[in-house]
Structure 1
Amino acid sequence: MNRNHRPLTVWTLASLTVVSVVLVIPWIMWQSQAPTPLNIMIVDKSKPDLSYVGHKGLVWILNQQKIVQQTGEHYNYEEDYYGYDIQNGISRIERKLPDEVTDTDLIYLTANHHLSSTETNERIQDKAYEGLTIYDAHKIREAATKGVTIVAEFSALSNAVSDMTREQLYPILGMKSSGWQGRSVSDLQSLDEVPQQLRMNYELREKRQWPYHGAGIVLVHNDGRVIVLKQGRDVKTGDIKFVFTQEGGEWSGITRDIHYSEWFDIIVPEQQATVLAWYKTDLTENGQQKLMDAGIPGGFAALTRYEGHNRTYYMAGSFGELEHYSFWRRIKGWDVVKTKLTPDQKSVPDRFYWKVYVPVMKKILQEVQTGQAPWQ
């Protein structure tokens, strides 16, 4: 019996050896790679929780690419950001932006998930924490005039304290918000996809109960207006795809369209801004007419670049959210493997992070490191 099992044992040992070599060699390569020091200011002023989902994805790619602080220390998502922290279970500790910001290589603006109206009301009632302030906006503008690269996610602007704060940031971002936000929804009755506060606002304005079922796209204005694009009548499928322009594809190296299913900001880019990617919808004539009647831009810009005193990128969505922060950041090339092998399916966790965010941020970080213009 031992002889019969010997071939299986040998095969198993050989397989384990091959797997070990395949993993150990990239790990050794990562360990031997020289670190790159960059001074990156992460600003995440959302209400804190232990997931740190607003900036954890950025820190993962910084560590995987061996980008370190000027001190040589690796970035830590629990400590190396400006915003609110949890100590002894209480979210009352604030790390404020420093007086000197112009010696920074990159400022990254983000926040936790898109804030529903309920969460916004909580922030207003609880003055212990707040989003981006006028002071923050002034310091960010000061850095921009000195050539510091700025990257901003939609969540950061939606979490700003006031419209005045956002107005201070629009000129350096090369865009303005239309006031509308949207999301692809697979079930219009789902409270996970359509927040209760959104429904309540609709029912108060329309004087009737929330009538929608099935799939579609929900559009919400800051003043409480709600428009629903129903699948079949207004949109053919209700899916939204992230589509790079030709220039954006050449810049990022991404040529495939990728499904996007989170909240997004409907913006109006400045004429001088470059749109690198769009949100693609399959609107029917009826759906197009609904947008026109509401004064909503027909095209939804997803990723823009603006060249002024500095270079800024605006991500009109929640691109960098990462749920699972893994050891695999210490494996050289793991980012490429995940980008290639992660299927573009809605049920796959962190799908958009791997398919779009990682390649885009690697390109931006490369530009910051080399001082290279995006077209070079």
Structure 2
Amino acid sequence: MWVTWLATPKKKLVIALVDKTVLTTKGQEHISLGWILNHNRYTKTSNKPYKIGEDYFGFFPLKDEKFRLKGLERFTEDQLHKLSDDADMVYFTDTYGIYNNEWYKQGDEGAQSGMLYGGLSNDDIIFLKAVKDRRKLIITEFNTIGSPTRSDNRRKFEELFQLYWTGWTGRYFNNLDPTKNLEIPRWLIENYKKSHNGDWPFTRAGLVFVNDSDQVVILEEGTHVDNALPYIHATPEGQSKWHLPERTKYPFWFDVMIPNLEVNTVDASYNLSLLPEGSKELEKYSIPETFPAITRHLGDDYRFFYFSGDFSDNPIKFNSSYFKGIGFFKGFFFDDRDPLERGSFFWNFYKPMVTQILENEMKLINQNQ
């Protein structure tokens, strides 16, 4: 399998990758894309492969709490336009950034703290518009325009792509008891208590929504939802175009977006198994009961995808990308019965979809040469 991978021809595809949330050199927030690029022999030059810890724009961790910032913010407007000429496509995997208590290991990592670096910047917007004007592929995903992006840059992005953030993000937790589940952020619990007389009565699995004003909404299993675990349902067109499964669980962070459907197409959506009390709770806060997971616009004017989830962050082993045909053995890499595992999402959903998107892109590039 490794020899077959070695014999696979290399394909040059110049990707401007932006990731502002890189705590280690493993590049967890863009590892899934890196896996696909390496597995399919996509290269940044005619023969140089992409390296997870080097080939992106954003935050670069160094030793002893030192770091280097190499984002698009260091370029002039002319240089950004030059980069949009040189790149074949762009992928924004995460702009959430790095916060002081995460980086300097001071205080509670689960509490809110000042930002070290992050947010969609003016320069990012200039670059995205330049790429859009050149009709090159743009892929963005969860938290590209969420906190800590400034509202003016968020509005510019929304107008560029006719896709609007409701202000809400969400995530599944298999246990809402903070004494048993240390994954629940401290700030989330504190913000809920502030508006509920200091109470946090939840002990079962649940779905948590939080907005940019620090409001927190909890849908607890058995009370508000029959099953708190969200599922992504692909449309027939999404299944045929991008090889998506009809139904996929997704237990990680997502955002609630509203697309202009006169301009965009939704290929997959989140569906929640709501009980009557859950529907009432969402209605109270104007949160839609179903919302997009994949939004796209593939027209003659521009080409764009938005993934409404932390799709490129999956706990996968990069070394497996060096083996051709490894997908035949994907069942060994995850236990689908575990609601928290995300390996199945990578192998069954993200990998086939992004592989197909990149294959389509290569065909277009070759046709235009």
SS at match of 2:90: strand
> Are 2:22 and 2:29, in contact at CA under 8 Å, matched by a contact in 1?
no
SS at match of 1:305: strand
Q: Which digits, 9 at most, give the CA deviation of each residue in 1:154-206, with x for residues without a partner?
A: 03333553122222222344311111111222211135443110111112223
SS at match of 2:113: helix
Q: CA deviation at 1:348?
A: 3.9
Q: Within 2, Cα distance between the matches of 1:76 and 1:101?
A: 19
SS at match of 1:63: helix
Matched, 1:208 2:190: no
Q: Name the residue aligned to 1:261.
A: 251
Q: Name the residue aligned to 1:302.
A: 293
- Look up the equivalent residue of 1:46 and give its one-letter code: T
Question: Greater CA deviation, 94-103 or 196-205?
Answer: 94-103
Matched, 1:106 2:89: yes
What is the TM-score of this pair, normalised by structure 2? 0.85
Taking the TM superposition and a 5 Å limit, the aligned residue runs for 1:282-361 are: 282-307=273-298, 309-338=301-330, 342-345=334-337, 346=339, 348=341, 350-361=343-354
- Look up the equivalent residue of 1:258 and give its one-letter code: T
> Residue 359 of structure 2: which of 355, 366, 372 is its match?
366
> Are 1:123 and 1:130, in contact at CA under 8 Å, matched by a contact in 2?
no
> Residue 269 of structure 2: which of 278, 286, 293 is its match?
278
Q: CA deviation at 1:73?
A: 0.4
Distance change >3 Å, CA 114–CA 79, structure 1 → 2: closer
- Look up the equivalent residue of 1:138 and give its one-letter code: I
What is the TM-score of this pair, normalised by structure 1? 0.84
> Are 2:26 and 2:52, in contact at CA under 8 Å, matched by a contact in 1?
no
Q: Name the residue aligned to 1:34.
A: 9
Q: Within 2, Cα distance between the matches of 1:93 and 1:86?
A: 6
Q: CA deviation at 1:340?
A: 9.3
Distance change >3 Å, CA 94–CA 67, structure 1 → 2: same
Distance change >3 Å, CA 115–CA 69, structure 1 → 2: closer
Identity %: 25
SS at match of 2:130: helix
Q: Name the residue aligned to 1:151.
A: 139
Q: CA deviation at 1:115?
A: 8.4
Q: Within 1, Cα distance between the matches of 2:310 and 2:155?
A: 20
Unmatched runs of 5 consecutive residues or more in structure 1: 1-25
- Look up the equivalent residue of 1:310 and give its one-letter code: Y
> Are 2:10 and 2:46, in contact at CA under 8 Å, matched by a contact in 1?
no
> Are 1:342 and 1:355, in contact at CA under 8 Å, matched by a contact in 2?
no
> Residue 83 of structure 1: which of 41, 54, 58 is its match?
58
Q: Within 1, Cα distance between the matches of 2:326 and 2:70?
A: 32
Q: Within 2, Cα distance between the matches of 1:215 and 1:90?
A: 36
> Are 2:22 and 2:98, in contact at CA under 8 Å, matched by a contact in 1?
no
Q: Name the residue aligned to 2:186.
A: 196
Question: Greater CA deviation, 336-345 or 271-280?
Answer: 336-345
Unmatched runs of 5 consecutive residues or more in structure 2: 102-108
> Are 2:12 and 2:44, in contact at CA under 8 Å, matched by a contact in 1?
yes
> Are 1:173 and 1:313, in contact at CA under 8 Å, matched by a contact in 2?
no
Q: Within 2, Cα distance between the matches of 1:226 and 1:84?
A: 29
Q: Name the residue aligned to 1:14.
A: none
RMSD value, Cα: 2.5
- Look up the equivalent residue of 1:102 and give its one-letter code: S
Q: Within 2, Cα distance between the matches of 1:340 and 1:258?
A: 18
Q: CA deviation at 1:240?
A: 1.1
SS at match of 1:143: helix
Q: Within 2, Cα distance between the matches of 1:165 and 1:119?
A: 27
SS at match of 2:357: helix
Q: Within 2, Cα distance between the matches of 1:120 and 1:111?
A: 20
> Residue 242 of structure 1: which of 223, 232, 245 is its match?
232
* Larger Rg belongs to: 1
More strand as a share of residues: 2
- Look up the equivalent residue of 1:311 and give its one-letter code: R
Q: Within 1, Cα distance between the matches of 2:271 and 2:360?
A: 27
Q: CA deviation at 1:213?
A: 1.8
> Are 2:333 and 2:343, in contact at CA under 8 Å, matched by a contact in 1?
no
Q: CA deviation at 1:94?
A: 1.3
Q: CA deviation at 1:280?
A: 1.5
Question: Greater CA deviation, 317-326 or 140-149?
Answer: 317-326
Question: Greater CA deviation, 114-123 or 355-364?
Answer: 114-123
Q: Which digits, 9 at most, give the CA deviation of each residue in 1:41-75, with x for residues without a partner?
A: 11001253233111122111100000001242000
Q: Name the residue aligned to 2:106.
A: none
Distance change >3 Å, CA 317–CA 224, structure 1 → 2: same
> Are 2:238 and 2:267, in contact at CA under 8 Å, matched by a contact in 1?
yes
- Look up the equivalent residue of 1:225 and give its one-letter code: Q
Q: Within 1, Cα distance between the matches of 2:322 and 2:141?
A: 26
Aligned residues: 344
